[in-house]
Chain A
């Protein structure tokens, strides 16, 4: 933050929190550790939701029909991020997007990487909407969203 010419009180807050994953997301994130992406299928609207959910937000019914979806899918939309904010996953520039995995009815938010990002025109050529992408896995997996390192154009 920029310094002011008038008197200010400057401070930062850092406090510990501990949030439970719960059984559904524990299973989803443990799946990532095995390089498997799980969704759950709602028996009322028939949608496969990824990441897996314990209930369907639209139908408001329990869902526990587990489905493994593909590690590949299509790019729904994306952005090339060139500005800085708190707690970013990496130093800009980097790309992120929504990816609709084969077998899923909804998209997943994740990073898109594995190509040259220095020239915007080339990035646009590389990433037309509908571009096929696949998950690239981290070598060390922790049952965390970044067990998928990023999605790469194929």
Chain B
């Protein structure tokens, strides 16, 4: 039943708006990843995609774009929500031994869907939450205020994340938002939900992301630079936001499950790079703590130390992260694509120069990290 799963090739769209029809653009990106591997539709054993009807504006959206993911008449499946799950579901399909290849496609069009918080408010229940305007940015602001209060993290330290990531994005041709900012630029942008300012919040971006997985034997035949699936963990917290500690969260659980599967006992030493899903700047610091990349309450010191810079010893979000590119549904899979490119040494101008063996891709959706997924890849 168990077989090693390899990541053969990846492809992604740019984050800025596309003039293409969605149905056609998904085909182009899916075709690109198959071309890179030298495969045709006949070689795709199964396809798993991730999208969300409410973001797409088409119900059963997977039926609409099924043909575009090389899934015509094939046994495939679809995840509605965070796309890193679809990667895991595809890996599991290969682990069953029934399939030798799997195409994973994450789909989201920020340029086509309403404002992100007009959609995240629909995550709330209509009885006690929606009438009060619960949405992702409001809960993120709650979480940020608590984080600063409890651990003495400063607004400047949070803003430094945006400076780093939007600066990193200058070297990423796929990134949507990129610029060299100062801490003052970030803090002086509009206070949309104090303590959050506009430039500490992710934009809404386009992102069609494709990943080709294969069994060990097939991977070795298809690529000279295989990247291997090492571990995965996920966790979903309770629905009522008032029931939980907004700084406790389920990411620690998701991470420890992934580390256990990957046989990692000391993430501080063993993780060489992390692509973390930070729709709000401070969350990169908090998630780094929960991922065990630094101690509890030390996220501020971590960014101050420079260690998470692209030339640091544990680069975080060399792609620019979600602050630079936020296709809401496909952003987790996009983190994985960056990790694959970095481990393959194919990340172009933003290539991390450290010798890397093991890296993390993280995805999250919902209120204050309601749902987390962590994938560990290695070479």
Chain A residues at the B interface, C-beta cutoff of 8 Å:
1, 4, 6, 11, 13, 17, 19, 21, 25, 29, 49-51, 57-58, 76-83, 85-89, 96-98, 100, 106-111, 120, 123, 129, 144-146
Contact = CB atoms under 8 A, between A and B. Distances in A.
B127 A109 contact: no
Nearest to B141: A79
B128 interface: yes
A50 B135 contact: no
Interface stretch (B160-168, B192-200, B309-317): B192-200
Given A25-B127, A79-B196, A6 B19 contact: yes
Nearest to A12: B114
A144 B117 CA distance: 23
Contact of B137 (A83, A86, A120, A145): A83
A47 B304 CA distance: 40
Interface string B15-36: 0010100000000000000000
B145 A77 contact: yes
A57 B133 contact: no
Contacts of B198: 83
Nearest to A96: B138
Interface in B157-196: 190-196
Contacts of B131: 89, 144-146
B121 interface: yes
B61 interface: no
A129 B145 CA distance: 9
A120 B191 contact: yes
B266 interface: no
A49 B240 CA distance: 10
Contacts of B142: 77-79, 97-98
Nearest to B367: A109
Given A51-B128, A79-B194, A85 B238 contact: no
B115 interface: yes
Contacts of B137: 83, 85
Contacts of B130: 87
Closest 5 CB pairs of A and B: A79-B141, A86-B118, A107-B242, A83-B192, A85-B117
A85 B114 CA distance: 9
Nearest to B112: A8
Interface in B348-366: none
Given A85-B117, A87-B118, A111-B132, A80 B193 contact: yes
Contacts of A83: 117, 137, 190, 192-193, 198
A109 B193 contact: no
B133 A120 contact: no
Interface centre among A21, A25, A88 (most CB of B within 10 A): A88
B146 interface: yes
Nearest to A85: B117
A88 B298 CA distance: 35
A148 B188 CA distance: 35
Contacts of A87: 118, 121, 130, 133
